[in-house]
Structure 1
Amino acid sequence: MAGRLTRYLRDFDGPVYPVNPNYQQVHGLRCFPSLRELPGPADLVLVLVPAARVLSVVEEAGRAGASCAVVLSSGFAEVGAEGRALQEQLVEVAGRYGLRIVGPNCQGLLYRPTGLAATFTAAADGAQQPDSGIAYVGQSGALGGSFLGKAGDRGIGLTAWISVGNQADLTATEAAELLVADPNVRVLACYLEELPDGARWQRLTERAAAAGKHVVVLRSGRSAAGERAVASHTGALVRAGTAFDLLTRESGAVQVDDLDELLDVAVALTADPRPGGRRIGVITSSGGAGGLAADQAEAVGLVLPELDAAAQDVLAPLIPAFGSAVNPVDVTAQVIDDAGQFGAVCDAVAESDQVDAVLVVLTTIGGAAALEVAEAILRSAKRSTKPFAVAWLYSHEQIAEAGSMLRRNGISVLSTTNAALRLIAHLVPRGDRRAEPAPPRGLARFLDRPALTESGGAQLLDALQVARPRGRVVVDPAEAAAAAQELGELVVLKVQSPDLAHKSDVGGVLVGVPAERADSAARDMLDTVAANAPHARIDGVLVQELLPPGVELLVGVQGSKHGYPPVVTVGMGGTTAELYRDVASALGPLDVDQAVALLRQLRGWPLLDGFRGRPRCDVAAAAAAIASLSHAAVELGDRLAELEINPLVVRESGAVAADLVVISDSRR
């Protein structure tokens, strides 16, 4: 590894000093026994010695006046407690000298403008490729090497490449900030294993957007169950990192799902134009392939509109009768054999007002014929103001030259229709924006205890102007019948405990209890709860009016955490919320229209909208409650851990919060 590292460094635009007491010369460069004996100052020190020797080398680098050390050595926090302690010492030693650390346990960095290749990864081998304006930063050295190697295979030269490893000092976010500020960088590709600070990530993406640059991110650990025990249905239904995902999408950055997609999207973003919308025109040499594209488009949010009459009139004489001029446009093998005619088809589809982007799906066309088709596509793309992408479903060897020619000219070539459609969908600009926060309403007074029971939260609901059922808390079960008589013939009984987020799980909810039997039912319920949850503190029993039936929604908010805005989640509610997992999330605050849009994302939306002749529910009332909760979460900030209404019962008129859980952040 050290030999490869030194060999790469021969291309650096500046002096390079190998340091090793066992050699006098390495790759034609004079070798020095220690940093103290260098003939001049060193700005950057690359450390590749056993972990036990790293601290002494870094201290020597600090004394020599270096400003940065890249610690390539492993054996630190990644190996356990002893390694973590050594890593902390490393940061402390470097800090004494104002020395910045990249790593440890990293694979170094590349910076094309100065010819710096400070890495030992074999992926840096090979001929220098044209500079693409793409930079990469990531935590995994191995995946970073894979990204670098894949880029090289496609003839793409990365402007910069940084492996931050354990992030003892320089974090991936800080490295990303430096790269976004670099005038040589147009697109930043990031691989993250840990969630960055929310406020800092937002500043990074906003700066990139303001500079006309793009950020593409691949994040692992997206299926993690979460950092804390689940206290509510919302906690079980919203995956860890949702706030990061939503903030990334809102900022205009692009989040992808695998390494190939990270590279594909980064390359596509270096070219102009981007799609103006989600309508695509598909041109194919195979009816079957076109059908696949049509089936897969909807899943990624794209649509295939029927082409307008003017476009079909132009296409009609170009396509045989057994083809199709609608969309997908099936040109058949007959047209593919005539590059000029095929190019005219591409022109006609791209010029249609019904199309925002063009996808060409090709099958068994290879060799010289493939190159002719690729040239026709390229000529049409250069004449168009709309982006082109190609899904070429054939042997890599047969299409290598044609694909390379298209990629060099900014046209993405993918090996499946699904990958091509996902790429186009990622390129469509998004306009998601949160509402402006409402004026403060003095809500902090409601979080003076770790958890609010439903009865304790009644005043909070009133302050938020969210309707709730009539009810009264009784401490003595003997009082339940008298309270019930005031509320109707049938009532609901709920145990009140700050320790029970899921009351029904321990027998703490009874529905439809006759008013005259409320006292005995309350006693039986308390006995059941005591048996099932013996350590739970009991504040009493809430006797509540029985609401008429309606559509039950879950409305949950996870409070601000680690610099991220609160996450608002809506779903089909009740006790089966976790079973069906029909939820949609957004960052708060929301206005009423945004809340309605969130509800429309649910599979259960038709139940609110008059499914099969049922009366339409009061969606406006539900949306007003959701919006009010979202503004409350913004006001409460990191004081709020979680807030949930389950269910919010929505009827023809009105929406009523039938149950409420509020948990404050115990660290505040």
Structure 2
Amino acid sequence: MTAVDGLLHPRAVAVVGASERSAMAGRLTRYLSGFDGPVYPVNPNHRRVHGLPCYPSLLELPGPVDLVLVLVPAARVLSAVEDAGRAGASFAVVLSSGFAEVGAEGRALQEQLVEVAGRYGMRVVGPNCQGLLYRPTGLAATFTAAADGVRQPDSGIAYVGQSGALGGSFLGKARDRGIGLTAWISVGNQADLTTTDAAELLVADPGVRVLACYLEELPDGARWQRLTEQTAAAGKQLVVLRSGRSAAGERAVASHTGALVRAGTAFDLLTRESGAIQVDDLDELLDTAVALTGESRPRGHRIGVITSSGGAGGLAADQAEAAGLSLPELDRAAQDVLAPLIPAFGSTANPVDVTAQVIDDAGQFGAVCEAVAESGEVDAVLVVLTTIGGAAAVEVAEAILRAAERRSTAPFAVAWLYSHEEIAEAGSMLRRNAIPVLDSTTAALRLIARLVPQESRRAEPAAPRGLSRFLDRPSLTEADGARLLDALQIARPRGRIVDPADVETVAREIGEHVVLKVQSPDLAHKSDVGGVLVGVRAEQAGRAAQDMLDAVTAGAPQARIDGVLVQEVLPPGVELLVGVQGGKHGYPPVVTVGMGGTTTELYSDVASALGPLDSGQAVALLRRLRGWPLLDGFRGRPRCDVAAAAAAIASLSQAAAELGSALTEVEINPLVVHATGAVAADLLVTTEPRP
């Protein structure tokens, strides 16, 4: 017996707290009636539960037990888990609540729970979870009412998630849509078995083709990457729904990059890079999983729309652009095939309006579907249906299925704008055959767009250059970071850090006009407290520097002052933000570019990617900005030296990859890009505290 056998293929299951008096406990024992092994209710207060002999304790069972379900008050859970270990169980599923989710006392109890189980080499699911289902063994070890109902055909879809309530909702939605899940696991508080652990078990299962995953906490990056790699290697698909995506990061925002890049960006980028699909709600999680059970995904963003309603087709056409999809005009050959199939008052263009007359003839409608899918002009087909229900809906669904079977390279999706009850049978038929059925054109278009494979890759890390020697303080000022910029071959303005008394002398050496900047490891935004002066005349620099220092002292009295940086004035150019957040918790560094300067956060025009990047990838990242035309010669302006900017971005990303977790963040704001060259006009570097 392996650990996974004990969870998904147990020889016997015991239920501690079994009872017919409690709705939850009653369902727990009743649902296990389909399990293909012995079920042992355990409760000293009952002799029989749902017709099964009930035992006073786990230590008095008539045979070995691998899986123990615990549903007793939190105060009695530890003794139940202790008995499970002594009885030789390999897994305990603790459905009881009252642990870490209720505060410090519950957290301490949860830690004791894991310690007790560990003494016996036993794994724990939960606590505060809703259990699991596993179709191949008939195991329904849960109390959620969503497990009630008729067994649906196996879909090859598995689910794992933290929230028991949302997990139950997913299970209920699947049941209502005629989708039988192969496996379903609610991990609750993840005291021992995590979502990633459970996901790895399910990805390894030969019966699982698509894994739907719900997360409330960010998993370890290295573990998550391993899961995505295992999923891809097995030829399977992963769909992810994560909550908390808009929450602020745990650390205080000290830079523009930190303010603009939300927590979890590294996870989102790593998930996308792996080929997994991230969605925004529970319906999308299920609908996307259904679509991925098919043999193909759209190869591009071109869709053909077929509808019986000109209005509905017009809505789909209007909404397609917002979803990143296009409706190309079908070629003449395809329209020639469609012409005899569609009345003159219909349309052979795209959208294809077949009219109600064609919908009434399932064979004719199926021929239209085949013609559009075979046109070669589209990567996916969206069928938009309105008030067609009952037996007529089933005939239409059968016609769509026949067309889909002939053209596996152009997958179908259906937006059915009608009563769920009227289309229930037809919808279930389509979903069982990997054709998603959605109740709005917007949702259908979003789904198709998500299914298009995304290309994303990272560059190979450069050879180490010993950059850690430059991280000699927790926060590097621009003057401190000059050596780092030089090592990275990123240009910077001429300048020197000096005491206030020497400012005017150095200013006269540099030029007629200069830039003055207070240097302090405590000031991430110097301009906010008057710590930056631009275009100061050299002969007035000394007095100006003293006034600047007085303003900074008044505005930030606790700030440590290293001195004043006197720099040359740069010619005007396009200002960019280039920031890299160091790799943490097993994730790669995150590279962010945006339109820079003091208004960076106002416009929030940024794009992010996982590092390291090469120059070509850096250019592609810049092209994603709304402000890209400013670099590319907007309205007759000279084109900027994009190659120089890309080289600086790539070099900074390679530095972050080398420094790893030692680096918290590095930011150049602005990187001033000219017709020739790009210069780092300001720099911020923060590092992780050293032991």
Equivalent in the alignment of 2:526: 503
1:150 to partner: Cα distance? 0.7
Distance 1:270 1:23, change over 3 A: same
1:373 to partner: Cα distance? 2.5
Equivalent in the alignment of 1:333: 356
State yes or no: 1:31 paired with 2:54. Answer: yes
SS of 1:430's equivalent? coil
Equivalent in the alignment of 2:149: 126
Equivalent in the alignment of 1:86: 109
Residue of structure 2 aligned with 1:138, choices 139, 152, 161: 161
Residue of structure 2 aligned with 1:431, choices 433, 450, 455: 455
**Residues 194-253 of structure 1 deviation map (CA, whole Å, 9 limit, x = unaligned):** 000001000001001000011111100000110100110000000100000000000011
Rounded Cα–Cα distance in structure 2 between residues aligned with 1:568 and 1:473: 29
Structure 2 gaps of 5+ residues are 1-23
- Comparing 268-277 with 571-580, greater Cα deviation is found at 268-277
Equivalent in the alignment of 1:422: 446
Residue of structure 1 aligned with 2:73, choices 47, 50, 71: 50
**Residues 265-323 of structure 1 deviation map (CA, whole Å, 9 limit, x = unaligned):** 11111111211222111122233322322232233322222222322332334334444
Amino acid at match of 1:462: D
Rounded Cα–Cα distance in structure 2 between residues aligned with 1:65 and 1:503: 64
Equivalent in the alignment of 1:621: 644
Amino acid at match of 1:450: P
Equivalent in the alignment of 2:478: 454
Could you tell me the TM-score, scaled by structure 2's length? 0.95
Rounded Cα–Cα distance in structure 2 between residues aligned with 1:604 and 1:333: 47
SS of 2:41's equivalent? coil
SS of 1:620's equivalent? helix
Rounded Cα–Cα distance in structure 2 between residues aligned with 1:479 and 1:526: 14
Structure 1 vs Structure 2 CA RMSD = 1.4
Rounded Cα–Cα distance in structure 1 between residues aligned with 2:398 and 2:37: 42
Rounded Cα–Cα distance in structure 1 between residues aligned with 2:331 and 2:346: 17
Equivalent in the alignment of 1:216: 239
Structure 1 gaps of 5+ residues are none
**Residues 137-169 of structure 1 deviation map (CA, whole Å, 9 limit, x = unaligned):** 110111111111111111111111111100111
Distance 1:637 1:159, change over 3 A: same
Residue of structure 2 aligned with 1:183, choices 168, 182, 206: 206
Equivalent in the alignment of 1:161: 184
Amino acid at match of 2:338: L
State yes or no: 1:206 paired with 2:221. Answer: no
- Comparing 419-428 with 559-568, greater Cα deviation is found at 419-428
Rounded Cα–Cα distance in structure 2 between residues aligned with 1:212 and 1:387: 18
State yes or no: 1:351 paired with 2:374. Answer: yes
SS of 2:42's equivalent? coil
**Residues 8-66 of structure 1 deviation map (CA, whole Å, 9 limit, x = unaligned):** 11221111111111111111100011111111121111111110111111111111111
State yes or no: 1:412 paired with 2:411. Answer: no
Rounded Cα–Cα distance in structure 2 between residues aligned with 1:420 and 1:409: 17
Which aligned pairs between 1:369-408 and structure 2 lie closer than 5 A?
A: 369-385=392-408, 386-408=410-432
User: CA contact under 8 A between 2:179 and 2:428: conserved in structure 1?
Assistant: no
Equivalent in the alignment of 2:389: 366
Rounded Cα–Cα distance in structure 2 between residues aligned with 1:471 and 1:431: 42
Equivalent in the alignment of 1:97: 120
SS of 1:10's equivalent? helix
Distance 1:89 1:667, change over 3 A: farther
Which aligned pairs between 1:293-304 and structure 2 lie closer than 5 A?
A: 293-304=316-327
Equivalent in the alignment of 1:467: 491
Amino acid at match of 1:660: L
Equivalent in the alignment of 1:570: 593
State yes or no: 1:257 paired with 2:295. Answer: no
Rounded Cα–Cα distance in structure 1 between residues aligned with 2:598 and 2:245: 26
- Comparing 610-619 with 399-408, greater Cα deviation is found at 399-408
Query: Runs of 4 or more off by more than 6 Å in structure 1?
Result: none
Distance 1:130 1:368, change over 3 A: closer
Could you tell me the TM-score, scaled by structure 1's length? 0.98
**Residues 428-468 of structure 1 deviation map (CA, whole Å, 9 limit, x = unaligned):** 22221111111111111111210111011111111111111
- Comparing 317-326 with 215-224, greater Cα deviation is found at 317-326
- Comparing 146-155 with 323-332, greater Cα deviation is found at 323-332
SS of 2:88's equivalent? coil
State yes or no: 1:608 paired with 2:635. Answer: no
Rounded Cα–Cα distance in structure 1 between residues aligned with 2:101 and 2:650: 44
Rounded Cα–Cα distance in structure 2 between residues aligned with 1:317 and 1:463: 71
User: CA contact under 8 A between 2:518 and 2:564: conserved in structure 1?
Assistant: yes
**Residues 161-199 of structure 1 deviation map (CA, whole Å, 9 limit, x = unaligned):** 111100111111101111111111111111100000001
Distance 1:63 1:397, change over 3 A: closer
Rounded Cα–Cα distance in structure 2 between residues aligned with 1:396 and 1:92: 49
